[in-house]
Homo-oligomer: A and B are copies of this chain.
Amino acid sequence: MIRLATYAPREQPALTRLAALAPLDAEASVAVATAIDHAATMRPRAELAVEGRRIAGPRLIVSGWAARTKIMPDGRRQFLSFLLPGDLIGMCRQPRPIATSTIVALTPVATCAAPPADVSPWLAEAYAMSAALEEAYLLAHIVRLGRMHAQERIADLLLELLERLTLNGMASGGQFEMPLTQEMLGDALGLTSVHINRMLQAARREGDIVWRERQVELVDPEKLAERMGRRPMLVSAAA
């Protein structure tokens, strides 16, 4: 299902992801690769976009993790989604390039200008797939928050992250590097970090996940996904 095009070396997650979303031709691959060469990096906690403010232009995440966030007047914070290498930001086809949410870097993040879609129809296709996936993940997040218990929320989110990181080549064998703190996980899942901690311990005790030294392993992703009634997004989006 996940195909690696000739021009998508494993070493470059952003290119790997786009090539997996659509079979990029040479023009597209070169455009993306050269764009990546001109990436700029930001520190953790830096804001890649601010809600209500104009966006410079569409950008591509080259490395690092970021999150779209909303902060309530009393300080409560909610992560709307995570942004991983290969994800696009500010791709509104709208005339008004206004950010609908604030985006904050969770780790050191490198981004580059996203090559315009008219470089190649395949690149445009990849962008379209990316946008469709993004919406699908937003909807999945609503279900998580609305109808899942703490343990389910955690498992479901980790499965999503595994899926996405597998797509861009940053995960394999159910294992990936996890830069998120338990507090960040809580802010994404509508829970407190204390509760996240306890539920993670339970999951570890039950042998579902192994988590040490910033490395997460989902012991049996298929079984876990089955238990949650989860299907891979790409299948449903591309079917």
Contact = CB atoms under 8 A, between A and B. Distances in A.
A214 interface: no
Interface stretch (A2-10, A27-35, A68-76): A68-76
A72 B229 CA distance: 7
A136 interface: yes
The number of times this chain is found in the oligomer is: 2
A238 B96 CA distance: 8
Given A93-B93, A94-B132, 19 more contacts: A70-B139, A70-B142, A70-B143, A72-B229, A78-B143, A78-B146, A92-B132, A94-B129, A96-B132, A96-B238, A100-B132, A100-B135, A100-B236, A100-B237, A101-B139, A138-B139, A142-B142, A145-B145, A146-B190
27 contacts: A51-B236, A52-B236, A52-B239, A70-B142, A70-B143, A72-B147, A73-B229, A76-B147, A77-B147, A78-B143, A78-B146, A78-B147, A80-B139, A80-B142, A80-B143, A94-B132, A95-B125, A96-B132, A96-B238, A98-B236, A100-B139, A100-B237, A138-B138, A138-B139, A141-B142, A145-B145, A146-B189
